[in-house]
């Protein structure tokens, strides 16, 4: 299996900011030559927090059923059922394992930080909507490192998403992202080079104009440490099921970053078949 035939990061209309059904993505995946497709819909919480960017908790069962039906309809495609988890410490880690992964019979869990909470309890979106303080960046990094070291997740999605709100690369920023790289290396948890940022508008920064992510200096650090990475399209439309993945395979290749899409998928499949 070639890495380019594997995508482990797709969403559906259930998350309220994407379009298309599970079936629509599977059909597009077959047309575009994928062999393995992983759905990593945004995880829901029992109290439906962050509800404008994810399904309601009572829709999780429907999500799982949609994938089961697609497995029958598209036998030529290996479909993996997962969730992209936004960890919230109000829920113990066992919640994510038992109530999400085991109860829903999911194949995998990925983790990605979209929200952090400051000392006053204010919820802050970690994306490119504002120029974040160093406190916010530190919260993002700390949460990402915690998720890597938890041992719960197969890979970490867009570990540089916060870069969209960072004006420039500084020694302090370098040291923060180095913590993510070290954790990934020590725990053997791959990081995802995420293609969704390539489909977002470029932003003008003091020293450059760039897409919010992937951020080159972060991945130069990953390359120096020989960190294995997953290339994920983070598709929010069926047409983008492979969106910008060729660009990122080229990006990783130029940096010398080893891509492990196929190896991660095979590990998930072997675990499912045990």
Q: Give the E-state strand segments of the chain in sequence order.
A: 6-10, 36-42, 78-85, 108-111, 115-117, 123-125, 155-156, 191-194, 203-204, 209-210, 229-232
Beta strand ranges found along 65-132 (DSSP E): 78-85, 108-111, 115-117, 123-125
User: Would you put residue 89 in left (φ > 0), alpha (ψ -120 to 50) or beta?
Assistant: alpha
The answer to whether the predicted template modeling score (pTM) of the entire model surpasses 0.95 is: yes
237 secondary structure, DSSP code: S
pLDDT of residue 129: 64
| CA–CA distances in Å: residue 178 to residues 32, 173, 182, 255, 265 | 36, 8, 6, 17, 26
Name residues whose C-beta falls within 8 Å of residue 32's C-beta, 6 or more positions apart in sequence. 241, 242
Predicted confidence at residue 128, as pLDDT, reads: 74
- Dist. CA 198–CA 212, nearest whole Å: 8
Element counts in the chain: helices (H) and strands (E) = 8, 11
CA distance 106 to 92: 18
Instruction: Kindly give the interhelix angle for 245-255 and 216-224, rounded to the nearest 10 degrees.
Output: 50
DSSP code string of 192-232: EEESGGGGSPPEE-SS-EE-SSS-HHHHHHHHHTT--EEEE
Other CB atoms within 10 Å distance of the CB of residue 206: 6
pLDDT, position 160: 98
166: which 2 tokens? 């960072």
Domains in the chain, CATH or no CATH each: 3-273 (3.20.20.140)
pLDDT at 130: 63
In this structure, the chain runs to a length of 274
pLDDT tens track, the chain, 274 positions: 899 999 999 999 999 999 999 999 999 999 999 999 999 999 999 999 999 999 999 999 999 999 999 999 999 999 999 999 999 999 999 999 999 999 999 999 999 999 999 989 899 999 876 678 899 999 999 999 999 999 999 999 999 999 999 999 999 999 999 999 999 999 999 999 999 999 999 999 988 999 999 999 999 999 999 999 999 999 999 999 999 999 999 999 999 999 999 999 999 999 999 8
């Amino acid at each position: 299996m070639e890495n380019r035939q594997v995508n482990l990061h797709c969403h559906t209309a259930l998350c309220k900011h994407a379009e298309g059904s599970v079936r629509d993505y599977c059909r597009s995946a077959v047309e575009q030559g994928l062999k393995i497709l992983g759905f990593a819909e945004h995880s829901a919480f029992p109290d439906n927090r962050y509800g404008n960017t994810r399904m309601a908790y009572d829709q999780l069962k429907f999500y799982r059923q949609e994938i089961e039906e697609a497995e029958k309809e598209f036998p030529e495609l290996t479909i993996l059922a997962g969730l992209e988890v936004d960890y919230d410490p109000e829920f113990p880690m066992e919640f994510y394992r038992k109530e999400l992964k085991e109860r829903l019979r999911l194949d995998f869990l990925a983790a990605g930080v979209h929200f952090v909470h400051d000392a006053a309890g204010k919820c802050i979106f970690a994306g490119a909507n504002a120029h974040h303080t160093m406190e916010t960046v530190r919260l993002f990094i700390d949460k990402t490192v915690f998720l890597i070291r938890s041992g719960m997740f197969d890979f970490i999605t867009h570990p540089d998403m916060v870069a969209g709100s960072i004006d420039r690369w500084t020694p302090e920023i370098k040291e923060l992202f180095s913590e993510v790289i070290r954790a990934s290396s020590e725990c053997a948890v791959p990081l995802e080079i995420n293609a969704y940022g390539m489909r977002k508008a470029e932003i003008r920064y003091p020293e450059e104009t760039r897409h919010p992510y992937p951020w080159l200096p972060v991945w130069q650090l990953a390359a120096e440490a020989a960190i294995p990475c997953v290339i994920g399209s983070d598709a929010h439309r069926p047409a983008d099921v492979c969106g910008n993945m060729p660009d990122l395979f080229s990006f990783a290749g130029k940096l010398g970053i080893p891509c492990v899409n196929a190896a991660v998928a095979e590990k998930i499949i072997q675990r499912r078949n045990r």
